[in-house]
Amino acid sequence: MSEDFELDTADLSRRMDGAMANLRTEFASLRTGRASASMLEPVQVDAYGQMTPINQVGTVNVPEPRMVTINVWDKGLVGKVEKAIRNSGLGINPQLNGTIIMLPIPELNEERRRELGKVAAQYAEHARVSIRNVRRDGMEQIKKAKADGMSEDDQKLWESEVQDMTDTFIKKVDDALETKQAEIMQV
């Protein structure tokens, strides 16, 4: 490989890892019929004039497999937390008990499972696009180095390395999607 050109493969790998981490976060927010504190991560509450994650305005617990509870620290925010959950699109109907909000997780029907499978597929596609964008950036760096005098053999070696890295991460996305869809469809 060229003496004067060194592609920062660690940076490309880190950025592709970031796309995978984002995908895992999005997958965690999809409910699969089991209670999970992570399903509330994307929900934001208008608290004290700014949007705040639920876990910063109360304690989130999972006391049983089909129940999530939120113990809201400030009584004045209970209504806002309840409204944020109702408007989140999670399909959960919060029940108030003082400063504790209980979220019973209903059993998913077949139609809702299919919808969630499609949402998971969309999340995976966003991750694939992000990974391909990182690949494109790497390929552009290689093209620029080729224009600056890199040999064709070195160019092919670097391009092959970037493509192999991309293929590996795309496979990870596909595997994660397959696992998540199986989890969603499991009754």
Stretch 102-119: mean pLDDT, rounded? 83
Identify whether residues 100 and 53 lie together within a single domain: yes
Residue, of 98 and 1, whose pLDDT is higher: 98
DSSP 46-106: EETTEEEEGGGTEEEEEEETTEEEEEESSGGGHHHHHHHHHTTTS----EEETTEEEEE-P
Residue 3 has pLDDT above 70, yes or no: no
Identify whether residues 60 and 47 lie together within a single domain: yes
Dihedral sign, Cα of residue 15, residue 16, residue 17, residue 22: positive
Count how many Cα atoms sit within 13 Å of the Cα of residue 134 in the half-sphere of its side chain: 27
CATH number at 95 reads 3.30.1360.40
Residue 3 lies in a domain: no
Q: How many structural domains are present in the chain?
A: 2
Residue 4 lies in a domain: no
Identify whether residues 23 and 38 lie together within a single domain: no
Domain that holds residue 70: 34-104
92 band by pLDDT with thresholds 50, 70 and 90: confident
Stretch 8-20: mean pLDDT, rounded? 92
Residue 32 has pLDDT above 70, yes or no: no
CATH number at 146 reads 1.10.132.20
Identify whether residues 113 and 23 lie together within a single domain: yes
Identify whether residues 91 and 118 lie together within a single domain: no
Residue, of 12 and 1, whose pLDDT is higher: 12
Task: Write down the pTM of the prediction.
Answer: 0.68
Residue 1 lies in a domain: no
Stretch 34-38: mean pLDDT, rounded? 75
